[in-house]
Amino acid sequence: MALERYFEWADQLPWREYAAWGNSAIRWLVAAGVALLAMFLLRIVVGFVQRRIQRITAATTAAWDDGIAEAMQATKAWFLLMVAICSPP
């Protein structure tokens, strides 16, 4: 595989063979990196959607869109982390 040559440094790490719950330490690090990247991308998307909804709610008098805007603003980082971790690959 072409990526293996980029990860040759991983062969020199003394803890790379440690296993937890059936996965090596490298796999856990990759999984954590993917989850953090997914969370970062979700934060960007949520911020974009929040700005769009705020513009829409400013232009209308309906109450339902105000509720959606408030719900989007109340979205916490831990919820986005759970979505990032639990989302299928």
The range of the structural domain enclosing residue 75 comes to 35-89
The verdict on residue 74 lying in a domain is yes
Cα 6 from chain centre: 24
Q: Is residue 68 part of a domain?
A: yes
Split at pLDDT 50, 70, 90, the class of 13 is: low
- Domain-located, residue 61: yes
Helix (H) or strand (E) holding 25: helix 25-59
Burial of 85 (0-12, 13-18, 19+ CB in 10 A): middle
> How remote is the C-alpha of 74 from its chain's centroid?
17
Residue 5 is assigned to a structural domain of this protein = no
- pLDDT tens-digit readout, 23-67: 777 777 888 888 888 888 888 988 888 888 888 888 888 888 788
pTM metric for this prediction: 0.60
Q: How far apart are CA 73 and CA 26, in angstroms?
A: 36
How many whole angstroms separate alpha carbon 26 and alpha carbon 16? 6
